[in-house]
């Protein structure tokens, strides 16, 4: 346990005091932290308090000859399993997003070959500013993992997103990233596509047709596959869930956008279609809000959406070797699942009865329907279904 070490970059924000607690929580969990304290960070917490908790030297100045003699910035950036920036200020995010390297923290972020996790902390207006949002999306695309920011009251008296995630939550994410690496890696080098959540089909700029899918099962499957080493592209409709760690997450709205994002993810070794894709969409989406008129409610003509599972199953040369679909049924689950398997042309159907509280809930009871037969799994947490399914996918792909 004690050889687990992270590099913690403490930026200049009022939330810096929370990083002290983070260091203690990590130490309790057997993860040592080495700290870089930025100049602004040192206005909020002292090198002495940080160093007492890390039981190590605190690195601060890029041009310090003694620092460079002990551990150069390149070495520093590679001496840890993970680089965690907490608090990640707007300034640190901007530098990292643009490759600016003019102090120890930013130089280290540019030089590192290790995964980077950021816990943003700033005033709500700064967080929502287009420049910060641009930097945030750029960093996401660069593979940076974000924890928070949380919503709530801020030290500056305002309210909204921008509060640094609680140290307990940051610590949990760090430990999760260790779990991800510790578990065996039977899917290393494999690419898997996962769809999740509902789709949203616009009627006009303010109204839409959708469904109650929470995305929990699909997100859990994506995370479980990534834990087994797969490169996972998760294409999700609108859900209130954070991007799973180590997963390439693509957010879409409509079924047609979901199909396009899936096709752009091919070739893949496997595809798991968990999304509750809306079967129909309004034939036309009005450009302006539909107004109430004297003629009563407007008729809504629907047209069929593309079937993503069927399209992937019939993708010819690009067809993933294993295509898994889900079947959400309220009656005759097995019979419907079998006919879906044949109709869609996929290899397995994971079928569940959604007449109870499965949609939005945390547990599920499924059966796996294959051409070779039906396998019933007991009632279990969605995360457990995800783990077992990921393991079966790994076996099917030849490990």
Residues with active-site annotation: 156
Nearer of residues 23 and 393 to ligand CTP, judged by Cβ: 393
Stretch that binds ligand CTP, among 7-15, 21-29, 152-160, 319-327 (CB under 6 A): 319-327
Q: Sign of dihedral through CA atoms 161, 362, 343, 315?
A: positive
Residue 15 interacting with ligand CTP (CB under 6 A): no
Residue 253 CA: distances (Å) to CA of 170, 195, 245, 305: 29, 12, 22, 13
Separation of alpha carbons 229 and 59, rounded Å: 33
In degrees and rounded to multiples of 5, residue 10 shows phi and psi of -100, 110
Shortest distance, position 218 Cβ to ligand CTP, whole Å = 9
Residue 337 interacting with ligand CTP (CB under 6 A): no
Among 255, 271, 368, 393, binds ligand CTP (CB under 6 A): 255
Which residues, 6+ apart, have CB-to-CB distance to 68 below 8 Å? Answer: none
Q: Which string of DSSP letters, residue by residue, matches 105-117?
A: HHHHHHH--S-EE
Nearer of residues 222 and 328 to ligand CTP, judged by Cβ: 328
> Mask of contacts with ligand CTP, 108-147, x by CB under 6 A?
----------------------------------------
Shortest distance, position 318 Cβ to ligand CTP, whole Å = 16
Shortest distance, position 351 Cβ to ligand CTP, whole Å = 8
Residue 305 interacting with ligand CTP (CB under 6 A): yes
Shortest distance, position 245 Cβ to ligand CTP, whole Å = 23
Q: Which two tokens stand for residue 126?
A: 């700064």
Nearer of residues 172 and 202 to ligand CTP, judged by Cβ: 202
Residue 182 belongs to what H/E stretch? Answer: helix 167-182
Stretch that binds ligand CTP, among 83-91, 231-239, 240-248, 323-331 (CB under 6 A): 323-331
Among 105, 116, 224, 308, binds ligand CTP (CB under 6 A): 308
State the pairing for strand pair 322-329/270-273. parallel
In degrees and rounded to multiples of 5, residue 146 shows phi and psi of -110, 140
Residue 26 CA: distances (Å) to CA of 9, 120, 178, 295, 367: 14, 19, 12, 65, 40
Q: Are 225 and 387 in contact (CB under 8 A)?
A: no
Size of the site for ligand CTP (CB under 6 A): 15
Separation of alpha carbons 144 and 26, rounded Å: 20
Separation of alpha carbons 266 and 3, rounded Å: 38
Which residues, 6+ apart, have CB-to-CB distance to 171 below 8 Å? Answer: 22, 25, 26, 29
Shortest distance, position 215 Cβ to ligand CTP, whole Å = 12
Q: CA torsion angle for 393, 395, 398, 399 (degrees, to 10)? A: 120
Stretch that binds ligand CTP, among 162-170, 304-312, 371-379, 387-395 (CB under 6 A): 304-312
Give the side-chain half-sphere CA count within 13 A for 134.
Answer: 7
Query: Can you give the length of the chain in residues?
Result: 399
Among 59, 245, 326, 348, binds ligand CTP (CB under 6 A): 326
With CA atoms as reference, report the closest residue to 31 among 80, 88, 73, 74.
Answer: 80
Residue 53 interacting with ligand CTP (CB under 6 A): no
Nearer of residues 228 and 309 to ligand CTP, judged by Cβ: 309
Among 277, 315, 333, 386, binds ligand CTP (CB under 6 A): 277
Interaction residues for ligand CTP, span 179-198 (CB under 6 A) = 195
Residue 389 interacting with ligand CTP (CB under 6 A): no
3-class secondary structure, 43: helix
Give the side-chain half-sphere CA count within 13 A for 384.
Answer: 10
Among 33, 328, 341, 366, binds ligand CTP (CB under 6 A): 328
Residue 275 interacting with ligand CTP (CB under 6 A): yes
Stretch that binds ligand CTP, among 25-33, 37-45, 144-152, 322-330 (CB under 6 A): 322-330
Q: Are 111 and 73 in contact (CB under 8 A)?
A: yes
Stretch that binds ligand CTP, among 7-15, 39-47, 237-245, 301-309 (CB under 6 A): 301-309
Shortest distance, position 312 Cβ to ligand CTP, whole Å = 8
Whose tokens are 């500056």? That residue is 156
Nearer of residues 171 and 273 to ligand CTP, judged by Cβ: 273
Contacts with ligand CTP by CB under 6 A lie at: 195, 255, 273, 275, 277, 279, 305, 307-309, 325-328, 340
């Amino acid at each position: 346990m004690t050889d687990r070490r992270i590099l913690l970059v403490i930026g200049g924000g009022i939330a810096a005091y929370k990083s002290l607690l983070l260091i203690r929580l990590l130490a309790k969990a057997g993860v040592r932290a080495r700290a870089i304290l930025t100049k602004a960070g040192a206005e909020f917490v002292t090198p002495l308090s940080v160093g007492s908790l890390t039981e190590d030297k605190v690195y601060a100045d890029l041009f310090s000859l003694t620092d460079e003699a002990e551990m150069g910035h390149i070495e520093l950036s590679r001496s840890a399993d993970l680089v965690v920036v907490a608090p990640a200020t707007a300034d640190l995010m901007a530098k990292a997003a643009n490759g600016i390297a003019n102090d120890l923290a930013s130089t280290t972020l540019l030089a590192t070959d290790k995964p980077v996790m950021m816990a943003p902390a700033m005033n709500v207006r700064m967080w929502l500013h287009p420049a910060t949002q641009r930097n945030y999306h750029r960093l996401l695309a660069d593979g940076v993992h974000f924890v928070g920011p949380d919503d709530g009251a801020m030290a500056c008296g305002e309210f909204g997103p921008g509060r640094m995630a609680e140290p307990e939550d940051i610590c949990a994410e760090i430990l999760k990233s260790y779990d991800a690496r510790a578990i065996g890696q039977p899917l290393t080098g494999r690419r898997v596509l996962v769809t999740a959540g509902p789709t949203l089909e616009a009627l006009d700029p303010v109204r839409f047709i959708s469904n109650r899918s929470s995305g929990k099962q699909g997100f859990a499957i994506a995370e479980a596959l990534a834990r087994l080493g797969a490169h996972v592209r998760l294409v999700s409709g609108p859900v209130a869930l954070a991007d799973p760690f180590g997963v390439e997450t693509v957010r879409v709205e409509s079924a047609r956008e979901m199909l396009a994002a899936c096709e752009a993810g091919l070739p893949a070794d496997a595809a798991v279609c968990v999304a509750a894709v809306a079967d129909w969409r309004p034939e036309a989406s009005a450009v302006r809000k539909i107004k109430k008129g004297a003629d009563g409610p407007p008729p809504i003509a629907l047209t069929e959406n593309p079937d993503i599972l069927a399209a992937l199953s019939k993708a010819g040369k690009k067809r993933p070797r294993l295509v898994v679909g889900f079947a959400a049924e309220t009656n005759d689950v097995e019979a419907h699942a079998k006919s879906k398997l044949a109709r869609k042309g996929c290899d397995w159907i994971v079928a569940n009865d959604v007449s109870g509280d499965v949609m939005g809930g945390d547990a599920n009871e499924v059966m796996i329907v294959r051409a070779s037969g039906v396998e019933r799994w007991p009632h279990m947490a969605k995360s457990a279904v995800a783990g077992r399914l990921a393991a079966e996918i790994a076996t099917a792909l030849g490990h």
